[in-house]
């Protein structure tokens, strides 16, 4: 394939990524009566009771559609959403949290299904991928960690939830999606948790490669969603990731304080100081990143307003 053809393929791919949600018009214009309540209407669903227009006797089509809906193979295809989550992740998340719900498979349900698939793969091929790979030899704490590893969907989401607050603060004034909310941050982490489980299949082959690929995909997702440059996205992601890891550190310290080995005494003495230092460090890092982002956002707004005044 020639260089020019490769360039054209890349531009087509970029247009597909950015063109936004694609809707399929399946509305019916013929007037019909609802089989459930008798209401007369012209659409796919009854406006009074919500029953579908195409309802008749139960047949094999009904069985096929019921199974397809259960596993996400209906109009909001699970497979299509997973493909988008790998090829245009940031744009997909932005479509969803900006109100285009019908172009994506329900994210929480998608996370649960992918988690079930991961468990099936591990059972069949006798491989294992831990959500939390740290063990403390403390029965109470290790039971909690084991729960995280046994319940991959919720375990992955709970680990990812540490990213919600740092992401909200650091990317608060993003040029492409400014002033996003904490609930939107929750759904962002649901999508990223599903993405992490998908990329986790590479982990069965090589853990190091899977870690690098996962980080690259996270950076791409943040850039597509928030619209910063590569450098602007990279340093903000590093601040977000480091702050999130630091937020987990106090739980490790508390785990050592609850232990019965030689580390307990040292943890009890140094633990409060470590936790205080971590909280202060997180506050400083997030505060500085917040101020820088806000300054750049206001500067860009001022520049845009001046350009508009100049044109008018």
The model's pLDDT over 22-65, given as tens digits with 9 standing for 90+, comes to 655 555 667 777 878 878 777 777 878 877 777 666 767 667 66
Asked whether residue 246 is domain-assigned, the answer is yes
Report the distance separating Cα 237 and Cα 92, nearest Å: 19
In this predicted structure, what is the pLDDT of residue 140?
A: 66
Report the distance separating Cα 86 and Cα 68, nearest Å: 22
Burial 41-63 (b: 16+ CB within 10 A, else e): eeeeebeeeeeebeeeeeeeeee
In this predicted structure, what is the pLDDT of residue 160?
A: 87
Q: Are 219 and 237 in contact (CB under 8 A)?
A: yes
Provide mean pLDDT across the span 71-97: 82
* CA neighbours closer than 13 Å in the CB half-sphere of residue 278: 18
Q: Are 167 and 185 in contact (CB under 8 A)?
A: yes
pLDDT above 90 covers what percent of the chain?
A: 28
Asked whether residue 44 is domain-assigned, the answer is no
Asked whether residue 87 is domain-assigned, the answer is no
Report the distance separating Cα 170 and Cα 282, nearest Å: 12
Report the distance separating Cα 72 and Cα 49, nearest Å: 23
Asked whether residue 28 is domain-assigned, the answer is no
Report the distance separating Cα 225 and Cα 91, nearest Å: 6
Provide mean pLDDT across the span 5-21: 82
φ, ψ dihedrals at 104, nearest 5° = -130, 145
Asked whether residue 52 is domain-assigned, the answer is no
φ, ψ dihedrals at 45, nearest 5° = -130, 150
Angle between helices 139-150 and 152-160 in degrees, nearest 10: 110
Q: Is the pLDDT confidence value at 75 over 60?
A: no
φ, ψ dihedrals at 291, nearest 5° = -65, -40
Asked whether residue 69 is domain-assigned, the answer is no
Alpha carbon 104 to chain centroid distance? 12
Query: What average pLDDT does the structure give for the chain?
Result: 82
Domain that holds residue 267: 93-311
Which tokens hold the place of 120?
């099936």
144-to-111, 172, 196, 245, 300 alpha-carbon distances in Å = 21, 33, 21, 18, 46
Q: Are 94 and 17 in contact (CB under 8 A)?
A: no
Helices (H), the chain: 3-18, 60-70, 78-87, 89-97, 107-125, 139-150, 152-160, 164-170, 182-203, 207-226, 230-257, 263-311
Q: Token pair 């990329």 is at which residue?
A: 199
For the chain, what is the domain count? 1
Q: Is the pLDDT confidence value at 73 over 70?
A: no
Asked whether residue 303 is domain-assigned, the answer is yes
Q: Is the pLDDT confidence value at 167 over 90?
A: yes
Asked whether residue 149 is domain-assigned, the answer is yes
């Amino acid at each position: 394939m020639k260089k020019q053809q490769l360039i054209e393929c890349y531009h087509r791919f970029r247009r597909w990524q950015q063109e936004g949600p694609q809707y399929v018009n399946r509305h019916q214009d013929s007037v019909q009566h609802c089989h459930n309540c008798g209401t007369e209407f012209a659409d796919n669903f009854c406006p009074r009771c919500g029953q579908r227009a195409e309802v008749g006797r139960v047949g094999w089509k009904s069985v096929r559609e019921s199974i397809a809906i259960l596993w996400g193979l209906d109009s909001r295809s699970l497979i299509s959403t997973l493909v988008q989550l790998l090829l245009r992740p940031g744009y997909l998340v932005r479509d969803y949290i900006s109100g285009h719900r019908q172009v994506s498979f329900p994210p929480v349900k998608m996370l649960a299904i992918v988690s079930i698939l991961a468990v099936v793969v591990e059972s069949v091929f006798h491989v294992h991928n831990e959500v939390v790979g740290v063990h403390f030899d403390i029965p109470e704490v290790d039971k909690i960690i084991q729960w995280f590893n046994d319940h991959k969907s919720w375990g992955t989401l709970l680990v990812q939830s540490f990213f919600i607050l740092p992401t909200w603060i650091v990317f608060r004034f993003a040029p492409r999606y400014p002033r996003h909310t904490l609930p939107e941050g929750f759904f962002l982490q649901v999508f990223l948790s599903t993405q992490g489980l998908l990329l986790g299949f590479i982990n069965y082959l090589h853990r190091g490669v899977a870690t690098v690929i996962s980080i690259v995909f996270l950076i791409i997702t943040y850039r597509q969603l928030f619209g910063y440059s590569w450098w602007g996205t990279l340093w903000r992601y590093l601040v977000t990731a480091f702050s999130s890891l630091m937020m987990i550190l106090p739980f490790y310290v508390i785990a050592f304080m609850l232990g019965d080995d030689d580390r307990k005494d040292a943890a009890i003495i140094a633990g409060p100081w470590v936790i205080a230092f971590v909280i202060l460090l997180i506050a400083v890092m997030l505060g500085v990143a917040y101020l820088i982002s806000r300054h750049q956002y206001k500067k860009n707004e001022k520049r845009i307003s001046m350009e508009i005044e100049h044109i008018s």
